[in-house]
Amino acid sequence: MPPRPSGTLTEAELRIMDVLWRKGSGTVQQVLDSITQKPALAYNSVLTTIRILERKGYLKHLKDGRAHVYTPLVGQKEATRSEIRHLVSRFFKNSQEDLVLNLLEDQGIRPEEIGRLREMLVRQGTEQSGTIQRDTVQSGTVQKDTMRKDAK
């Protein structure tokens, strides 16, 4: 019995999808010519991998004379999020918090990243609570102003 196809992308599939996301579409030869990472792939390897991607629903093809032109059906952002959901499910029992904590413990975080995370968390919190929160700095202390979104 052949192995069940994976819903996630292998390294070879990702190399090909990176090319097609960048170019928008291409034939097997155009994809092959655009792959810059080593090791180099053979034409038949690229063709086989593209056919697998088509079966998985990542690509579609249109006939252009004798050639098939392949176009992504799944965007890069969507594929990235799908891969992350798979990672969180598989290794962190569906806990995004555990994923983030693992990353922070393993790699640390730079001050500018903390600022971006803080802004994102504030946005997330205000979208859920219906309030707008604004930090103001006066005399070296941070003051929080909170108001309802519908208030003017």
Which CATH number goes with the domain that contains 27? 1.10.10.10
How many domains are there within the chain? Answer: 1
With respect to residue 43, please indicate whether it lies within any of the assigned structural domains. Answer: yes
Q: How far is CA 149 from CA 24, 130, 142, 143, 146, in A?
A: 40, 6, 21, 18, 9
pLDDT over 50 at 152, yes or no: no
pLDDT in tens, 47-72: 999 999 999 999 999 999 999 999 99
With respect to residue 132, please indicate whether it lies within any of the assigned structural domains. Answer: no
pLDDT in tens, 20-48: 999 999 999 999 999 988 888 899 999 99
Question: Helices (DSSP H) in 96-138: which residue ranges?
Answer: 96-107, 111-129
With respect to residue 138, please indicate whether it lies within any of the assigned structural domains. Answer: no
With respect to residue 146, please indicate whether it lies within any of the assigned structural domains. Answer: no
Q: Considering only CA atoms, which of 58, 50, 98 is closest in space to residue 78?
A: 58
Across the range 75-85, mean pLDDT stands at 92
With respect to residue 109, please indicate whether it lies within any of the assigned structural domains. Answer: no
pLDDT-above-70 percentage for the chain: 80
Q: Please state the φ and ψ torsions of residue 59, each to the nearest 5 degrees.
A: -130, 160
Q: Considering only CA atoms, which of 62, 58, 42 is closest in space to residue 5?
A: 58
With respect to residue 61, please indicate whether it lies within any of the assigned structural domains. Answer: yes
What domain range includes position 53? 11-74
With respect to residue 60, please indicate whether it lies within any of the assigned structural domains. Answer: yes
Rounded to whole angstroms, the Cα distance separating 13 from 46 reads 9
Q: Considering only CA atoms, which of 127, 145, 149, 128 is closest in space to residue 136?
A: 145
With respect to residue 111, please indicate whether it lies within any of the assigned structural domains. Answer: no
DSSP type of residue 43? H
